[in-house]
Amino acid sequence: MSVRNWPRYGVASFNWTLMPQAIAFKGAFGSQALETGSPRWEVSLTGIHQKHIKSLEIQRFIESLGGFRHQLALYHLLQPVPRGTLRGSPEVAVLASRGATALTLDAGAAQANRTLLAGDYIGVGANLTQQVLRLDADAIADAAGIITVQLATPLRNDFNVGSAVVWDKPTALFRQRELSTGINFIPKFGQPWSLNLLEDWRP
C-alpha cells in the first residue's frame, strides 16, 4: 500500500463534506444518535471532457489507486490556502490533547496581527496522525505571533509542542468509497470521470 498525490487534473465539480460517524436509532418514543468515531471528510470529484491522450493518462492514474488498496492525498481544491493572512511556519505552541476543539499556534513575531478565518483549513500530523482541520471562528495572532484557533472537529490525536502546522495545501488521506467505472471514450474525447472518496488514514 502507498500514497498517491493528486495530479491536479481538470475538475468539473468538486464536493468536500464533513461526514459524522454515527448510528441513528428511531423508535415510537423518540430517536437517538450514537457517535461511532471521529467525523471524516468525504470528497466527490467529476472530471471534464479531455482529449484521448489526457483521458488515458487519467484512467491510468485512477487504476493506479488499486481500488481500495492505495490512498490518495488530496487538499481542498477550492481553498488550497487560508483566506486569512497568516503564513510563515506555524507550530503547535501548547500541548494539544486528543478530543480538543482548540489549538494554539506559534507563528513567530513576523506574523503578528495576521489572521485565520472561519472556514480556513490547516493540517497537522503525518500518516496515521494526519488530519485536516477546518476553523470554526476567526482568530488573530498577538504581538508575539501566538494565535488560538477554534476547530470544527476534535483532534484525533495528541500533538506535542513544536509539531508543524501546514497552511499550504493541507492534505488528508482518502480511499475510494466505490470502484471507479473508468472513462468512456467517444470520437476525439474521453467523457467525464468520477471519484468518490472517504477519508481513511489507516495504512
Task: Sketch out the chain's domains with CATH numbers.
Answer: 1-75+171-203 (3.30.200), 81-170 (2.40.10)
Cα-trace Rg, the chain: 19
pLDDT at 166 over 90: yes
pLDDT at 199: 98
Q: How far is CA 67 from CA 34, 106, 161, in A?
A: 30, 40, 37
- Decide if 5 contacts 65 (C-beta within 8 A): no
- Quote the percentage of the chain above a pLDDT of 70: 93
Which is nearest to 104 in space by CA: 141, 129, 79, 130?
141
Of residues 4 and 21, the one with the higher pLDDT is 4
Over the stretch 6-25, which tens digit does the pLDDT of each residue have? Answer: 999 999 999 999 998 756 55
Other beta carbons within 10 angstroms of residue 21's beta carbon come to 11
